[in-house]
Structure 1
Amino acid sequence: MVLETLGILNSWIKDFGMLSEGWRASILVFVLVFSTATAAFIASRVIGVLERKFSSTNNLWDDALLHAARSPVVAFIWLQGVFWAAEVAYRFSEAEIFTANRTLLQIGFVWVFVWALLRLVKEAEKILVSPMKMRKPMDFTTVSAISKLLRAAVIITAVLTALQTLGFSISGVLAFGGVGGIAVGFAAKDLLANFFGGFIIHLDRPFKVGDWVRSPDRNIEGTVEHIGWRLTTIRTFDKRPLYVPNATFTTIAVENPSRMTNRRISETIGIRYADVRSMKKIVDEIREMLKNHEEIETEQTLIVNFLAFNASSLDIMVYTFTKTTQWVRFHEIKEDVLLKISDIIESYDAEVAFPTRTLHLPDGLKVSGAGREGETSEPGKGSSQESSQTQSTETQMESAHDSNR
């Protein structure tokens, strides 16, 4: 209809006999391009007004559809306008370059449609993972995996359709892909292993983006930033990016501390042998303190017991769990617990033990130090200073010996 209208306009201009054929073609092409630009501008404005109008409603999918369709609709208008302009130019010049107009138009339609679908998938992904738009947002890793599969399906379908439009046989292309796939599989086995490794990660979900993961088999520890089809990006705690091939996760054990329910406090605290009479009271009071602590999870295992007679101490085992799993908050709670245990031990005039050693000397053996410079002493006799040093040393040894009985 548009081309017929332009034909009538061309005949009307030709009847005047004032313009040559080249000028008439230029005027018609200009009218088409100007009309296309005007229509594209109006369409963009109309869709923009509709976006602002529908943004106030509770339905989020109409906003996503309009936002995804805005640019492809403008591109579609330009594509159609340029096609009509090329048809007009072909009628006047009959140049060979314009013979591919219809094929290019069909491929352009496929491209615009695929572009719109990809934008719609992206908008849907944003909505599904947004806590501001969804009451129960979906897991980002799952939504990302599904969107990647949808994009791949749309692109593959578009490529096959474009090949069919260009005159290639899809059955021949698929047959070639089946035979060539075997050779590609052997040549790119590592790439395929990483691809299927990424698929298994998305399927089993041992971790997701934002989780803290580590592996006891490899030197891998950090926060997951991105899960791709070939690599998983992990940000280590010293802020370095670590790129791990997905196939690695199919052969190693992966620990996910982000999914722990509680954090554990496990300490062994020793008191002196001289404080053995206060052991029962100290243990009972520490246990009672932990049961009444607001940050300790009493539903989990809680153990406070006299553990063992150690070489230099009487050991108390403290084993409990905190309610929080946050790393910084956990250490604040642990600090508070240890300080309260220290206060309990001091309240019974007891002390935390430290390693000591007792030295037993034969009877009659005396330890003599060297005299002051310029003084001498007879064998077996020492100065008063040496005697006081010896007595002080013996007193310290006896005190250490008594404290360890």
Structure 2
Amino acid sequence: MLNYKHLMFIFYMLKPSITYAQAKDESHLDLLAFIETELSQFFPQAKTLFLGTASWRWGFAVLSVLILLLMKRFMLTKLLKWFRVLSGKTENTFDDQVVELLNKPLSYLLMIIGFYGSSKWINLSESLERFITFCYRISLIILFTWFLACLIELSTKFLEDLAAKSSSTLDDYVVPFVSRIIKIATYSIGGMLVIQEFGINVAGIIAGLGVGGLAFALAAQETLANWFGAIMIYTDRPFEVGHWIKTSQFEGVVEEVGLRSTRIRTFAQTVVSIPNRQIAVDVIENFNKMQKRRISLKLGVTYETSPAMLEESVERIRDILRNHEEVDQSFWLVKFTDFGDSALEIFVYYFTLTTNWEEYLSIKQEINLRIMQRLKAIGVEFAFPSMSIYQAVSDPEQTAKLDAQARRLFSARAPEVVDRRETMTAPSESNADG
């Protein structure tokens, strides 16, 4: 019948634990002595030394490797199968690709740990043991660096597929650029960890790289500013390729957004390249994001127009806007506003529902023609810049009569009436055009 020590013996054979193999406390030394005693009863040669280590320890080391190699395929198959079940519950294929990517790194990881663990069964010299530990640590660093690089490459392909579906071309440049930076950082950190294992002071290298990076940043500050400007344009998205925009200096349609500059096709059909650092800090007006389009104009009619004719003209223009299906009915204005130098001015202000330029112009033309027709029907004529010269004839008696009449009318007025008015925000005169 198996007792406790026999069970521990079987477990110890199947699990090549580094902790047990390197144990120095009394209980584990007793267990090692027990294993050696039990084995020597069946195999007297178990205590035979080979390269300074008992034969049974060499056997356990080889057995540990064989068991690991036999179980590695089974363990990976079960583990990856469980991961595939989890990733299969999602709609995207990125996590499925990550699971497939784990196959080789996990396989190499188990082999490295297994070989390192099996070496602990053997009585090695201190220098050889340090060398094996050194190789073990280097292997782990290289393995994890390689896995992260593969994961970054996989993420880059996934993000590039998403970028290809977007209308903007900026992300097509940004994704590889950022991926390249992350890869360089990953390899640099991995390389520094490897160098540190050789006993080289990494702090001095980092300090040197800091000084070199500062010099590089100063030399390429404009290029870096353009790169960061491209990232800001991508994240903030004030415009996209194909949008009609206006900056403080240029106006046109965006053709391309690169890492260094943004190209705009002006309405004169020239191409302007604007550095991204300038675009990032400039005021940008995006006409493609208009929900409706404004029309503002002043109609001048002649001074021969009577007040009644002017009131009828205003109402007729209001009827035109009120009944037009392409005019936004939420807000429009038609008011007689000014006595101009050569005309009585009617202010017309409204919005079209469309933002398309050609449709906008067609609506404006149609309304203008209707206004001309409706005003001409009541005999109202449009004014044009002109100058009338009159020969003044002074009549002192008539002037005195008119002055006396004005004084009587003013004195007969009721006390001052305080008007109650609502405040209203309105555009300035210089900003009235659409």
> What CA deviation, in whole Å up to 9, does each residue of 1:40-99 have, x standing for no partner?
xxxxxxxxxxxxxxxxxx96748x969xx9xxxxxxxxxxxxxxxxxxxxxxxxxxxxxx
Listed as ranges, the matches of 1:385-404 within 5 Å are none
Report the secondary structure of 1:232's partner residue.
strand
Judging changes above 3 Å, is the alpha-carbon distance between structure 1 residues 355 and 238 closer, same or farther for their aligned structure 2 residues?
closer
Structure whose alpha-carbon radius of gyration is higher: 2
Give me the whole-angstrom Cα distance separating, in 2, the residues matched to 1:331 and 1:256: 19
Aligned to 1:177: 209
Aligned to 1:224: 254
| Equivalent residue for 1:348, pick from 357, 371, 378 | 378
Aligned to 1:280: 311
Q: CA deviation at 1:321?
A: 0.9
Count of paired positions = 262
| 1:339 has 2:374 as partner | no
Judging changes above 3 Å, is the alpha-carbon distance between structure 1 residues 257 and 138 closer, same or farther for their aligned structure 2 residues?
closer
Q: CA deviation at 1:122?
A: 4.3
Give me the whole-angstrom Cα distance separating, in 2, the residues matched to 1:124 and 1:251: 27
Aligned to 1:153: 182
What one-letter code is carried by the residue in structure 2 that aligns with 1:199? Answer: I
Aligned to 1:96: none
| Equivalent residue for 1:188, pick from 211, 215, 220 | 220
Judging changes above 3 Å, is the alpha-carbon distance between structure 1 residues 119 and 237 closer, same or farther for their aligned structure 2 residues?
farther
Give me the whole-angstrom Cα distance separating, in 2, the residues matched to 1:322 and 1:122: 44
CA contact (8 A) 1:163 1:169 kept: no
Aligned to 2:235: 203
Q: CA deviation at 1:206?
A: 2.6
> What CA deviation, in whole Å up to 9, does each residue of 1:236-281 have, x standing for no partner?
2233322211221344322222222221100101112223231111
Q: CA deviation at 1:308?
A: 1.4
Give me the whole-angstrom Cα distance separating, in 2, the residues matched to 1:203 and 1:170: 35
Q: CA deviation at 1:202?
A: 2.9
| 1:293 has 2:321 as partner | no
Q: CA deviation at 1:210?
A: 2.7
What one-letter code is carried by the residue in structure 1 that aligns with 2:252? Answer: G
> What is the aligned-residue identity percentage?
31
Judging changes above 3 Å, is the alpha-carbon distance between structure 1 residues 331 and 283 closer, same or farther for their aligned structure 2 residues?
same
What one-letter code is carried by the residue in structure 1 that aligns with 2:182? Answer: A
Report the secondary structure of 2:305's partner residue.
helix
Give me the whole-angstrom Cα distance separating, in 2, the residues matched to 1:315 and 1:357: 16
> What CA deviation, in whole Å up to 9, does each residue of 1:175-217 have, x standing for no partner?
432221122222222223223333333333333333222223x
Report the secondary structure of 2:341's partner residue.
coil
Aligned to 1:368: none
Long gaps (5+) in structure 1? 1-57, 70-106, 131-136, 364-405
Long gaps (5+) in structure 2? 1-89, 102-141, 394-434
Aligned to 1:328: 358
| Equivalent residue for 2:282, pick from 242, 245, 252 | 252
CA contact (8 A) 2:169 2:257 kept: no
Q: CA deviation at 1:345?
A: 0.9
Report the secondary structure of 1:332's partner residue.
helix
Judging changes above 3 Å, is the alpha-carbon distance between structure 1 residues 262 and 60 closer, same or farther for their aligned structure 2 residues?
same
Moved more, 116-125 or 148-157: 116-125
Give me the whole-angstrom Cα distance separating, in 2, the residues matched to 1:123 and 1:281: 66
Name the TM-score, length of structure 1 as normaliser. 0.53
Report the secondary structure of 2:259's partner residue.
coil
Q: CA deviation at 1:290?
A: 0.8
Judging changes above 3 Å, is the alpha-carbon distance between structure 1 residues 200 and 360 closer, same or farther for their aligned structure 2 residues?
same
Q: CA deviation at 1:351?
A: 1.7
Report the secondary structure of 1:275's partner residue.
coil
What one-letter code is carried by the residue in structure 1 that aligns with 2:212? Answer: G
Give me the whole-angstrom Cα distance separating, in 2, the residues matched to 1:152 and 1:271: 67
Aligned to 2:415: none
CA contact (8 A) 2:293 2:354 kept: yes
CA RMSD across the alignment: 4.2
Q: CA deviation at 1:156?
A: 4.2
Aligned to 1:379: none
Give me the whole-angstrom Cα distance separating, in 2, the residues matched to 1:328 and 1:65: 49
